[in-house]
């Protein structure tokens, strides 16, 4: 019999990260309430033991207090799945054989479902896999606002609207944390671009900060009870966000009463005094600058390590600052790795696969469908040409910290072959990119002209063409660390599509991306779908929607402008985006996304909330329970909807609110309610939506508070920000 190497010895020999899977002995009295147990533990710890707990010991772990039986804290990137393991002190993959995961769709896709119940199931499944893998913190979700279509990290976030993000993030966090795993909402705050992210100072009004950029974080704290928050790299009011007195001490921990752990993004701490005084609790990744590298094994040199210890010993900083950090870290431990009731988790189950597929199916957005190009039922065409690298490229890889090692990733091509039969599908790559890299663009190794010629020949001889294009997770695409350089499709896709359309006019396009792209070929193509990074079940979900087995029901979580200059961030020039490397000025203020397009009367190419279906819905009467409301009331809106099309389907009713005579300028309308529902063919029902009157509020920066003014308000029932079906007027009493 082969002698086993003890796991700890294995870790020491090979230098791999080794989560603590078993519960360490606890020498603290576990019969007391948690806050008393925190006091008990804190009273028994030495100064050095406390210092050790507020900074990293490896790339993804922090030391506990072994003498008292307090376990290490293990964390993983994972807004879309639990990331693979890394060696102890470097960014090399550890190459374990048991660290694969279910890859869930990117959060842009989850937002496009407009389905909070799916967000809960997504979070719960992700939390189960994280728990099974021995993780105590999952580093997600991300809720930064989509301000520019060039931002490299938009695919990790939930779109341009703070209300949509707020509604979707709460059940996600609740689902994760049911497993005794802390969600870590990120990146707090104003991380709306990757370009210059490590140094840029954001100049933004108090009103825009509160109305646009903070609401989803606030919902995560106050409504979801999130246990951890991650700071961003950028600055606000000249101070780095990861140790910013205004953001952390005054807003997060003061106004919102956050009782969890504030941690850095990897490498976002810059100063011991600021970190100690301005609310940072846990320091990760210093000297690594995020995805790059610098000094090695320097954990004792972190700002909250030996420098903090020495300042306390010299009396320059109070030990009470350290104690407050340790209280929060211990509270996290009692919620996670010292919670004896937390479940054991599950990994790679059929249920997880089904959830990934369901989110993907409900997130795909049908944007154009001329003469019912879609659905393409099996047997409708003899020869289907599938063209484009995105039909086969592994899109769970790359992108930065959200990269995944999926147990399987079914490509769109594979899904289509399984749906239509190999004999009916012919594939040509058409264009090619290199392997994903975080810091440079790698060559593909293919001859671009040869790929184009082959694709045109395939298209010429096909009955129908499905072009799979868009972006990928390579450098300066949908990737952490930098932004896109333009809205154009990369790798010559626009030119390729022009050539394909010259030889075959029966063309449908499936765009896979986390950002809007320019579409000079839009009028010429028959059908268009906005797809996303769909994860493990990408091909199955795509084929089910294209074939008509599932009717598309996704809605755009961001506006697609006709041209880049129509976007609010770019309208005001370089000062507004990307800034000068030192400062960026948010001249668009509260008018982000559809707020900008609608208020400035700039037509988008496709509006926020837009999405077609294979069936057809008719909107009937709309009514409210009364006309006049007090500040504490909730407006109850009912609308009659009928499915008058040819198949079952889902529709998202959206409620936008407009104030008649505000004392400060407001957007033309703002999303304040939505509900997704399913109707069988021929079914009719009354759908009820509830909008609290307090949600009519705007942030009055003259008074530094939220205000609901006595006034008339219009509630608009819509299928997108530009498609208003019905409207009712109500009055808020003085």
Mark whether 160 and 230 lie in a shared domain: yes
3-state secondary structure of 402: coil
Q: Is 8 within the bounds of a domain?
A: no
> Quick one: 240 and 307 in the same domain?
yes
Residues 103-136: pLDDT tens digits? 999 999 999 999 999 999 999 999 999 999 999 9
Give the C-alpha separation, 82 to 137, whole Å: 10
pLDDT of residue 2: 37
11 falls within a domain: no
Do residues 266 and 388 both lie within one domain? no
| Within-domain flag for 9 | no
What distances in angstroms separate CA 204 from CA 135, 160, 210, 583, one per listed residue? 36, 16, 10, 10
Question: Rounded CA gap, 131 and 136, in Å?
Answer: 7
DSSP 505-552: S-EEEEEE-SS----TTGGG-SEEEEE---GGGHHHHHHHHHHTSS--
Q: Pick the last residue of a domain from 608, 639, 668.
A: 608
CATH number at residue 81: 3.20.20.300
User: Cα separation of 171 and 359, whole Å?
Assistant: 14
pLDDT value for 640: 97
As a whole number of angstroms, the distance between CA 455 and CA 443 comes to 20
Decide if 331 is inside a domain.
yes
Is residue 647 within 8 Å of 548, Cβ to Cβ? yes
> Residues of the chain whose pLDDT is less than 50?
1-26, 291-292
Provide DSSP, 354-381. HHHHHHHHHH-EEEEEGGG-----TTS-
Pairing of β 137-139 and β 182-188: parallel
Please report which residue ranges of 562-608 form alpha helices under DSSP H. Answer: 568-571, 594-599
Question: Residue 650: which CATH number?
Answer: 2.60.40.10
CA distances from 587 to 210, 497, 579, 705 (A): 15, 36, 11, 21
Chain segment 293-349, per-residue pLDDT in tens: 566 778 999 999 999 999 999 999 999 999 999 999 999 999 999 999 999 999 999
Is 377 in the same domain as 329?
Answer: no
Nearest to 722 by CA among 656, 675, 660, 673: 656
Number of domains present in the structure of the chain: 4
Instruction: Report if residue 626 sits inside a domain.
Output: yes
Give CA angle at 604 (603, 609), nearest 5°. Answer: 120
Range of the domain at 549: 350-558
Q: Is 265 a catalytic residue?
A: yes
Residue 321: what pLDDT?
A: 98
Q: Which of 99, 161, 265, 482 is catalytic?
A: 265
pLDDT of residue 29: 67
Answer yes or no: do 274 and 354 share one domain. no
Question: Which of 552, 521, 507 is closest to 381 using CA atoms?
Answer: 507
Q: Which of 479, 478, 480, 517 is nearest to 497 (CA)?
A: 517
Examine the fold and report which residue of 335, 359, 378 is the final residue of a domain before the chain moves on.
Answer: 335
**Tokens representing 428?**
């040509």
Are residues 480 and 374 part of one domain? yes
| Cα 392–chain centre separation | 24
Tokens 């082969």 identify what position? 2
| CA–CA gap between residue 703 and residue 96 (Å, rounded) | 56
Task: Please indicate, yes or no, if residue 1 is contained in any of the structural domains.
Answer: no
Contact 153, 480 (CB under 8 A): yes
End-to-end distance of the chain based on CA atoms, in angstroms?
83
Identify whether 628 is part of a domain.
Answer: yes
Determine, yes or no, domain membership for 345: no
Question: Is the Cβ–Cβ distance between 608 and 557 less than 8 Å?
Answer: yes
Question: What pLDDT is recorded for position 142?
Answer: 98
pTM: 0.95
Q: Are residues 598 and 643 in the same domain?
A: no
Q: Are residues 542 and 567 in the same domain?
A: no
Same domain, 386 and 293: no
Residue 83: CB atoms within 10 A of its CB come to 25
The length of the chain, given as a count of residues: 734
653 and 567, same structural domain? no
Q: Confirm if 374 and 548 have CB atoms less than 8 A apart.
A: yes
158 and 203 together in one domain: yes
Same-domain status, 594 and 689: no
């Amino acid at each position: 019999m082969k002698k086993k190497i003890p796991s700890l010895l294995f870790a020491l020999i090979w230098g791999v990260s080794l989560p603590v899977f078993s519960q360490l002995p606890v020498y603290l009295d576990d019969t007391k309430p948690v806050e008393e147990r925190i006091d008990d533990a804190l009273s028994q710890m030495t100064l050095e033991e406390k210092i050790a707990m507020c900074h990293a010991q490896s790339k993804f772990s922090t030391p506990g207090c072994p003498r008292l039986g307090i376990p290490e804290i293990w964390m993983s990137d994972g807004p879309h799945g639990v990331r693979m393991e890394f060696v102890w002190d470097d960014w090399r993959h550890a190459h374990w054989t048991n660290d694969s995961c279910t890859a869930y769709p990117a959060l842009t896709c989850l937002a496009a479902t407009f389905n909070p119940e799916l967000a809960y199931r997504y979070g719960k499944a992700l939390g189960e896999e994280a728990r099974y893998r021995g993780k105590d913190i999952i580093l997600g979700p991300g809720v930064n606002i989509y301000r520019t279509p060039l931002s490299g990290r938009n695919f990790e976030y939930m779109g341009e609207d703070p209300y949509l993000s707020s509604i979707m993030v709460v059940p996600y966090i609740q689902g994760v944390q049911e497993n005794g795993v802390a969600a870590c909402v990120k990146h707090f705050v104003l991380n709306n671009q990757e370009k210059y992210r490590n140094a840029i100072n954001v100049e933004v009004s108090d009103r825009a900060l509160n109305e646009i950029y903070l609401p989803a974080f606030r919902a995560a704290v106050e409504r979801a009870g999130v246990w951890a928050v991650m700071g961003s790299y950028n600055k606000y009011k000249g101070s780095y966000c990861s140790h910013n007195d205004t953001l952390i001490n005054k807003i997060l921990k003061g106004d919102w009463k956050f009782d969890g752990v504030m941690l850095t993004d990897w490498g976002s701490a810059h100063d011991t005094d600021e970190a100690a005084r301005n609310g940072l609790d846990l320091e990760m990744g210093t000297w690594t600058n995020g995805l790059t590298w610098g000094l090695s094994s320097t954990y004792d040199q972190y700002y909250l390590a030996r420098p903090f210890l020495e300042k306390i010993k010299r009396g320059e900083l109070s030990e009470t600052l350290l104690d407050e950090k340790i209280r929060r870290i211990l509270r996290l431990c009692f919620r996670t790795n010292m919670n004896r009731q937390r479940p054991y988790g599950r990994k790679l189950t059929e249920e997880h696969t089904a959830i990934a597929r369901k989110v993907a199916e409900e997130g795909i957005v049908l944007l154009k469908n001329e003469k019912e190009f879609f659905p393409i039922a099996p047997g409708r065409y003899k020869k289907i040409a599938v063209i484009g690298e995105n039909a086969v490229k592994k899109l769970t890889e790359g992108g930065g910290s959200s990269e995944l090692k999926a147990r399987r990733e079914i490509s769109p091509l594979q899904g289509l072959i399984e749906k239509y039969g190999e004999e009916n599908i012919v594939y040509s790559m058409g264009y090619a990119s290199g392997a994903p890299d975080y810091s440079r663009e790698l060559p593909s190794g293919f001859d671009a002209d040869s790929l184009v010629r082959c694709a045109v020949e395939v298209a010429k001889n096909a009955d129908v063409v499905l072009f799979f294009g868009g972006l990928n997770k390579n450098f300066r695409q949908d990737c952490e660390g930098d932004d896109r350089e333009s809205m154009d499709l990369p790798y010559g896709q626009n030119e390729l599509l022009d050539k394909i359309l010259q030889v075959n006019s029966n063309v449908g396009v499936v765009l896979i991306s986390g950002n809007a792209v320019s579409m000079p070929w839009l009028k010429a193509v028959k059908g268009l779908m906005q797809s996303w990074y769909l994860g493990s079940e990408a091909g199955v979900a795509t084929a089910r929607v294209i074939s008509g087995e599932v009717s598309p029901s996704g809605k755009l979580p961001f506006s697609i402008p006709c041209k880049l200059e129509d976007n609010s961030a770019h309208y005001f020039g370089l000062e507004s985006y990307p800034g000068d490397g030192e400062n960026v000025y948010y001249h668009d203020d509260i008018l982000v996304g559809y707020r900008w397009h609608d208020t400035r009367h700039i037509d988008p190419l496709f509006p926020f909330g837009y999405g077609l279906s294979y069936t057809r819905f008719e909107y009937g009467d709309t009514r409210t329970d009364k006309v006049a409301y007090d500040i504490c009331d909730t407006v109850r809106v009912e609308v009659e909807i009928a499915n008058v099309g040819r198949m079952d389907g889902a529709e998202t009713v959206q409620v936008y609110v407009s104030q008649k005579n505000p004392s400060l300028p407001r957007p033309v309308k703002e999303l304040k309610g939505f509900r997704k529902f399913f109707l069988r063919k021929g079914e009719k029902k009354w759908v009820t939506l509830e909008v609290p009157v307090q949600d009519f509020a705007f942030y009055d920066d003259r008074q530094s508070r939220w205000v609901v003014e006595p006034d008339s308000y219009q509630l608009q029932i819509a299928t997108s920000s530009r498609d208003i079906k019905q409207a009712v007027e109500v009055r808020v009493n003085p």
